[in-house]
């Protein structure tokens, strides 16, 4: 790679973090000052939460089933099949549930937000919001951020349940484990620490999806091509932030659990 693309990439990264910082500041300032459009927040919760539910349930159910099958077939060789419920439950609650749900959420919601806001930029609707004496941060960004903060943890809670049910189904049908035993093992393994660790991350993941997606949408200048680019960037950046952030957040939550 020659110097020019590296320099361009660096400038773009600095611009992104600077722009995201400014947007975050505006969102914080305007959230705590003046009114919040709760009707718009509810509309967004419906869009980002309720309408994402089928996708999240199908994905989490499938992942639970695949995990149970893979763990079961692998551990069977060593006579460890009985550990499948424990392993699957802990993995789903701590990592897979929150992370996969957030990644699917980023793909669906991040792309949708960036393209919707980008199209509004191109058609001057964002300018019209400003010209009519209102704030696009209050009308567009804050409702979406709050909706993600409310909806993603709930989606993850559903994903955890359906993921474990999927694993139970495969455990009973493919691994010949007693469903009652499977259920009891899940319940005895799943500690509140596991649950809180996974659940706590979702608030950060909601921010990792909503803010960059709004940022990329708001920075669309010209035409359909830039809307497409913004959409791609929103999904890529949100996914990277979730995956990289997951490592650091896991460490933080482990440390908190040890400390408490």
Partner 1 sequence: MGVIDVIHFKKSFGKKVIHQDVTFSVQKGECLGLIGGSGTGKSVILRSLIGLEKPDSGRVIIDGIDITQMTEPQLLEIRKKVAYAFQNGALFDSMTVFENLAYPLREHFHYSEKEIHERVLSSLAEFGLEGNENIYPGSLSGGMQKRVGLVRAMMMNPQIILYDEPTAGLDPFNTRKIQDLILRLKEKGVTSILVTHDMPTADAVCDKMAMILNGRIEAQGTLSQLDQDSLGVITKFIAGEEL
Within 117-156, the residues that bind partner 1 by CB under 8 A are 123-125, 127-128, 130-135
- In the complex, minimum distance from the CB of residue 33 to partner 1, in angstroms, rounded to a whole number: 8
Binding of partner 1 by 31 (CB under 8 A): no
CB of 242 to partner 1, least distance (A): 28
CA atoms within 13 A on the CB side of 149: 10
Structural contact between residues 99 and 243, judged by C-beta atoms closer than 8 angstroms: yes
For residues 127 and 69, give the distance between their C-alpha atoms in angstroms, rounded to a whole number: 53
Please state, in angstroms and rounded to a whole number, the distance separating the CA atoms of residues 103 and 90: 19
Question: Angle at the Cα of 29 (from 33 to 247), degrees rounded to 5?
Answer: 135
Q: Least separation, in Å, of the C-beta of 83 and partner 1?
A: 51
Count of residues binding partner 1 (CB under 8 A)?
A: 11
Secondary structure, 3-state, 60-110 = HHHHHHHHHHHHHHHHHCCCCHHHHHHHHHHHHHHHHHHHHHHHHHHHHHH
Cβ of residue 57: shortest distance to partner 1, in angstroms? 27
**Nearer to partner 1 (CB atom), residue 39 or residue 258:** 39
Element (H, E) at 257: helix 223-259
Q: Which structure tokens are listed for 135?
A: 């704030």
Categorise residue 223: left if φ over 0, alpha if ψ from -120 to 50, beta otherwise: left
Minimum CB–partner distance for residue 47 and partner 1 (Å): 11
**How many angstroms separate the CA atoms of 194 and 136, rounded?**
38
Nearest-approach distance from CB 30 to partner 1, in angstroms: 9
The tokens describing 97, both together, are: 């549930």
Nearer to partner 1, 119 or 239 (CB): 119
Least Å distance between CB 133 and partner 1?
Answer: 4
Q: Which is nearer to partner 1, 130 or 251 (CB)?
A: 130
Considering only residues 66 to 95 of the shown chain, the ones binding partner 1 according to CB under 8 A are none
Nearer of residues 20 and 154 to partner 1, judged by Cβ: 20
Give the x-and-dash track for 186-225 against partner 1 (CB under 8 A). Answer: ----------------------------------------
Residues at the site binding partner 1, with contacts judged by CB under 8 A = 123-125, 127-128, 130-135
């Amino acid at each position: 790679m020659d110097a020019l693309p590296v320099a361009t990439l660096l400038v773009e990264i600095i611009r992104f973090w600077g722009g995201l910082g400014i947007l975050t500041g505006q969102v914080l300032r305007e959230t705590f000052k003046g009114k919040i459009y709760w009707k718009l927040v509810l509309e967004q919760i419906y869009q980002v939460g309720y309408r994402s539910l089928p996708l999240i349930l199908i994905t989490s159910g499938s992942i639970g089933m695949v995990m149970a099958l893979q763990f079961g077939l692998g551990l069977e060789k060593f006579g460890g099949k009985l550990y499948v419920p424990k392993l699957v439950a802990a993995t789903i609650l701590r990592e897979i549930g929150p992370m996969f749900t957030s990644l699917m959420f980023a793909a669906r919601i991040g792309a949708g937000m960036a393209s919707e806001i980008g199209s509004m930029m191109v058609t001057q609707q964002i300018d019209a919001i400003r010209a009519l004496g209102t704030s696009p941060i209050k009308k567009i960004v804050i409702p979406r951020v709050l909706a993600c903060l409310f909806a993603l943890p709930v989606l993850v809670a559903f994903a955890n349940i359906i993921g474990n049910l999927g694993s139970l189904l495969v455990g009973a049908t493919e691994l010949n484990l007693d469903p009652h035993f499977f259920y009891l093992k899940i319940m005895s393994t799943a500690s509140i620490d596991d649950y809180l660790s996974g659940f706590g991350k979702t608030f950060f993941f909601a921010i990792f999806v909503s803010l960059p997606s709004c940022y990329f949408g708001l920075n669309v200048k010209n035409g359909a091509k830039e809307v497409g680019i913004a959409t791609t960037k929103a999904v890529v950046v949100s996914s990277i932030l979730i995956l990289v952030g997951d490592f650091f957040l896991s460490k933080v939550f482990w440390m908190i659990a040890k400390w408490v």
